[in-house]
């Protein structure tokens, strides 16, 4: 496959050149008043325009032996998220793939038909992709008159699936056979009661866990307008073990009082694998990047700091939040995040990074755009917290600076489309007022992670493409991919260019999504939306006067960077959980089959301290640990060709 040009890790530039494009000058930074993310007001009015006609049959493009792509849906509603987009794709163990988005086929700024767009690829075979939908899923079920948004989907039960969206609260539909028949619903996830404010839940993300995908987890947000100038934002978590009754309350953020007015709409993603469930929170400026991990299907949560915000505080009263200036290096802030859980229970996170400066107490800030304000960071829960998000670092040997600190271990994505940094024109970056489009300055955004049964990773994201511009005025955005093999520490960054085909010559891509866990080793599934006009028609600062037809593409891709044949038979992972954590006298290994296993404990220094040969039976299996000293260990269960590693705290 043709590869895009890579930004050399050794690329260096002198400080004077760096300062001209990055230091806080009014021509190179944007000043604004802080809005704590989206209020979620997506109601607009406008004149009705005639719908464009589209074929109802997708055309599959097969450019290479390891790449297939097809149009899945078309929508005039282009604001697919107030931040990153997640939990709108899944792949089942039988290979079935489903994808959803917010659909409207009305070409106006009212979108009275707004609802769930859905398509299904049976067995993961593009010859079995459904027709492009012309009406929302709600029209095919009871509740057809509901105007909904922000759909999210997951497998549910032995063969079924669940759809969740918002419309004056959260609603959900269930069907017993994925991709077939009528949805059963709508049912309501109850709004929380007994709180200070009457919150109505919105902006959901759903995943399911357990050996039969029968435990439902929904993360969401809510906002309440207390007065004209006071808006309260809160984070919530909902759980159901039977598809009927719900536990609804504040998210695990409440344990440290971080659930109010820090994170807002779409600042989160959730993923699961077996009994492990993980939630990632990130927000511009105000908060840490946090992961909450549960190894018992959401009953208990461990708080993990991925990146600690060094300027955490109240911008209007706390001088410690003041950063940067005309001569000082700006601070870094996370923007979009993505999360996936591997078959070994390891949590993987990626998040885009941007630069900003908060120079004085108050709500104003400066953000930076351009080649030096770009990067997507990577972390997993076998590592310590990230302590340095610097997008550039001194290179004393060459008396200059280097992007991303020459680091493909802690960074998994960045701008790939030029070989010489001087070739990129910062003024050709689209800089209109669309707040989502801009990512607050980060050139690369909307990361989407996927993990395969062997623990290999793929990351797709949207980035500025300097080889293509729309109307010869500004660079447009393309979708590219990075890979990390399970046995490698570093990433192969931006080695696949998804949109290099002529059919995408005038396409601009955004809102990248992934099936967070896939069925076949080395084969990954993603989606993204495109149109031919830069900017958005919906959302804060929208710059398009009329909505354009946005096409959702679905593609599958396998990589030569994953050293496994995708045609081999994949063995079943016997182990799907090791618990409790912390543990005292015993750990329990949950197995999906009867099998021989080796359980190995290593300490943080990498020394093997205990080995147990065990005959696992289907279900729970106890392993004594009463001879281990208190401390942190890595427990690796080797069974049926898989290694399942968990971090275990022994008390």
Cβ of 401: how many Cβ atoms within 10 Å? 21
Task: Give the C-alpha distances (Å, rounded to integers) separating 551 from 116, 117, 118, 257, 336.
Answer: 14, 11, 13, 40, 22
| Nearest residue to 527 (alpha-carbon basis) of 417, 416, 448 | 448
Q: What is the tens place of the pLDDT at every residue in 165-212?
A: 999 899 999 999 999 988 999 999 999 999 999 999 999 999 999 988
Structure token digits, residue 236: 């919530």
Local confidence band at 428 (pLDDT 50, 70, 90 cut-offs)? confident
Please report the DSSP string for 390-427 in residue order. Answer: -SEEEEGGGTEEEEGGG-SSSEEE---S-SSGGG--GG
Structure token digits, residue 84: 């990153």
Q: What is the dihedral of CA 530, 531, 533, 534, to 10 degrees?
A: -20
Local confidence band at 419 (pLDDT 50, 70, 90 cut-offs)? low
Residue 66 has pLDDT above 70, yes or no: yes
Residue 559 has pLDDT above 80, yes or no: yes
Structure token digits, residue 140: 């095919």
By the 8 A CB rule, do 495 and 415 touch?
no
Residue 512 has pLDDT above 60, yes or no: yes
For 44, counting Cβ atoms within 10 Å of its Cβ (0-12 exposed, 13-18 middle, 19+ buried), the class is middle
Cα distance between residue 281 and residue 290, in whole Å: 5
Q: HSE (CB half, 13 Å, CA atoms) of 390?
A: 12
pLDDT value of residue 387: 85
Q: What is the mean pLDDT of residues 554-562?
A: 89
pLDDT over 70, % of the chain? 84
Range with the poorest average pLDDT among 218-232, 322-336, 478-492? 322-336
Cα distance between residue 448 and residue 293, in whole Å: 19
Q: What is the mean pLDDT of residues 492-512?
A: 90
pLDDT value of residue 435: 82
Q: Domains along the chain?
A: 12-558 (2.130.10.10), 575-650 (2.60.40.2550)
Local confidence band at 3 (pLDDT 50, 70, 90 cut-offs)? very low
Q: What is the mean pLDDT of residues 116-131?
A: 95
Residue 55 has pLDDT above 50, yes or no: no
pLDDT value of residue 491: 94
Q: What is the mean pLDDT of residues 542-552?
A: 93
| Nearest residue to 446 (alpha-carbon basis) of 380, 533, 376, 493 | 376
Cα distance between residue 506 and residue 555, in whole Å: 19
Longest dimension (CA), the chain: 74
Cα distance between residue 186 and residue 181, in whole Å: 15
Q: What is the tens place of the pLDDT at every residue in 446-486?
A: 999 999 999 999 999 999 988 887 666 788 899 999 999 99
Residue 21 has pLDDT above 50, yes or no: no
Local confidence band at 420 (pLDDT 50, 70, 90 cut-offs)? low
Answer yes or no: pTM beyond 0.75. yes
pLDDT value of residue 399: 61
Cα distance between residue 451 and residue 520, in whole Å: 10
| Alpha-carbon torsion (295, 300, 303, 306), positive or negative | positive
Q: What is the mean pLDDT of residues 375-392?
A: 89
Range with the poorest average pLDDT among 243-257, 263-277, 521-535, 576-590? 576-590
pLDDT value of residue 593: 77
For 129, counting Cβ atoms within 10 Å of its Cβ (0-12 exposed, 13-18 middle, 19+ buried), the class is buried
Residue 240 has pLDDT above 60, yes or no: yes
């Amino acid at each position: 496959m043709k590869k895009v040009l890579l930004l050399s890790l050794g690329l260096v530039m002198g400080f004077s050149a760096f300062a001209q494009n990055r230091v806080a000058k009014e021509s190179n930074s944007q000043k604004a008043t802080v809005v704590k993310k989206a209020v979620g007001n997506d109601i607009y009015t406008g004149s009705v325009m005639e719908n464009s006609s589209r074929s109802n049959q997708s055309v599959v493009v097969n450019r290479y032996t390891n790449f297939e792509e097809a149009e899945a849906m078309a929508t005039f509603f282009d604001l697919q998220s107030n931040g990153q987009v997640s939990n709108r794709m899944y792949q089942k163990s039988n290979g079935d793939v489903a994808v959803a988005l917010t659909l409207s086929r009305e070409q106006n700024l009212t979108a009275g038909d707004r609802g769930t767009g859905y398509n299904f690829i049976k067995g993961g075979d593009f010859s079995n992709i459904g027709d492009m939908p012309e009406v929302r899923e709600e029209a095919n079920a009871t509740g057809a008159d509901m105007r909904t948004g922000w759909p999210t989907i997951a497998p549910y039960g032995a063969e079924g699936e669940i759809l969740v969206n918002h419309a004056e609260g959260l609603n959900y539909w269930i069907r017993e056979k994925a991709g077939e028949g009528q949805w059963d619903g709508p049912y309501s996830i109850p709004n929380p009661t007994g709180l200070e404010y009457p919150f109505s839940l919105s902006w959901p993300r759903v995943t399911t866990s357990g050996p039969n995908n029968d435990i439902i987890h929904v993360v969401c947000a809510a906002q309440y307008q207390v007065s004209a100038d006071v808006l309260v934002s809160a984070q919530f978590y909902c759980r159901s073990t039977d598809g009927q009754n719900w536990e609804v309350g504040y998210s695990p953020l409440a344990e440290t009082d971080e659930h109010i007015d820090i994170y807002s709409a779409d600042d989160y993603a959730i993923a699961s694998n077996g009994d492990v469930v993980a939630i990632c929170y990130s927000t511009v400026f105000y908060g840490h990047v946090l992961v909450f991990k549960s190894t018992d299907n959401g009953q208990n949560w461990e708080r993990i700091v991925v990146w600690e915000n060094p300027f955490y505080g109240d911008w209007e009263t706390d001088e410690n939040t003041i950063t940067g200036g005309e001569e000082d290096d700006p601070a870094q802030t996370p923007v979009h995040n993505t999360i996936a859980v591997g078959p070994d229970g390891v949590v993987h996170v990626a998040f885009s990074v941007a630069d900003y400066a908060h120079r004085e107490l108050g709500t104003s800030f400066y953000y930076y755009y351009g080649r030096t304000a770009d990067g997507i960071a990577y972390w997993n829960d076998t590592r310590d917290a990230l302590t340095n998000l610097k997008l550039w670092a001194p290179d004393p040997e060459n008396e200059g600076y280097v992007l991303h600190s020459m680091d493909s271990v802690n960074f998994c994505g960045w701008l790939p489309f030029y070989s010489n940094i001087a070739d990129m024109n910062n003024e050709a970056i689209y800089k209109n007022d669309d707040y989502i489009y801009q990512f607050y300055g980060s050139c690369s955004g909307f990361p989407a992670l996927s993990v395969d049964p062997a623990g290999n990773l793929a990351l797709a994201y949207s980035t500025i493409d300097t080889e293509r511009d729309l109307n010869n005025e500004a660079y447009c955005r393309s979708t590219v991919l990075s890979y990390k093999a399970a046995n490698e520490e570093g990433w192969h960054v931006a080695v696949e260019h998804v949109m290099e085909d002529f059919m995408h010559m005038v396409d601009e891509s955004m809102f990248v999504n992934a099936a967070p866990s896939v069925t076949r080793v080395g084969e990954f599934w993603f989606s993204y939306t495109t149109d031919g006009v830069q900017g958005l028609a919906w959302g804060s600062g929208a710059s398009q006067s009329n909505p354009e037809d946005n096409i959702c593409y679905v593609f599958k891709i396998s990589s030569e960077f994953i050293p496994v044949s995708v045609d081999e038979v994949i063995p079943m992972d016997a182990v799907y959980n090791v618990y409790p954590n912390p543990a005292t006298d015993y750990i329990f290994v949950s197995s999906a089959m009867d099998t021989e296993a080796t359980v190995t404990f290593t300490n943080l220094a990498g020394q093997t301290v205990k080995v147990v040969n065990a005959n696992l039976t289907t279900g729970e299996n106890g392993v004594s640990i009463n001879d281990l000293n208190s401390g942190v260990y890595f427990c690796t269960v080797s069974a049926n060709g898989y290694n399942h590693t968990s971090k275990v705290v022994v008390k």
